[in-house]
């Protein structure tokens, strides 16, 4: 198995596939039981007017309703940005809320969303902040 990023043509081809086709293809490899690998019903598209997206998942689990284990603020945790840069492009950030009361706190609010947008622009369009 190669660790090289996929070509843009291959990513575009994958974008045409439905998630059902991809799940069925994965089953043929026999890498896991057929009753595993599915998402919870809470995972759904909330912006149905946006096009299908394909990319490398940059995943994280967050807890924002309780105080952090170190320091006094989650906003000071910027180490995840460095980890995000190790994921090939195109990147899709997927964050799981592991708080007991889902949605009680927020991690990607206005501040982090603005930082992520500017960070992306720095990488893709240097000098156009």
- SS3 for 14? helix
pLDDT digits (tens, 9 = 90+) for 23-74: 888 889 998 888 887 777 777 777 888 888 888 988 888 777 776 667 766 6
* pLDDT band per the 50, 70, 90 thresholds, residue 121: low
pLDDT digits (tens, 9 = 90+) for 83-115: 888 888 888 888 888 888 776 766 677 877 787
| Cα separation, 117 vs 127, whole angstroms | 14
- SS3 for 34? coil
In this prediction the pTM is 0.66
């Amino acid at each position: 198995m190669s660790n090289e990023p996929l070509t843009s043509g291959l990513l575009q081809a994958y974008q045409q596939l439905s998630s059902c086709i991809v799940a069925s293809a994965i089953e043929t490899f026999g890498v896991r039981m057929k009753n595993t690998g599915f998402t919870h019903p809470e995972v759904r598209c909330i912006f149905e007017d946006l096009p299908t997206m394909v990319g490398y998942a940059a995943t994280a689990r967050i807890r924002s309703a309780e105080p952090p284990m170190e320091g006094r603020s989650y906003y000071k945790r910027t180490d995840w940005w460095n980890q995000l840069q190790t994921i090939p492009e195109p990147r899709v950030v997927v964050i799981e809320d592991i708080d007991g009361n889902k949605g009680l706190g927020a991690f990607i609010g206005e501040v982090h969303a603005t930082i992520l947008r500017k960070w992306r622009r720095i990488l893709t369009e240097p000098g156009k902040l």
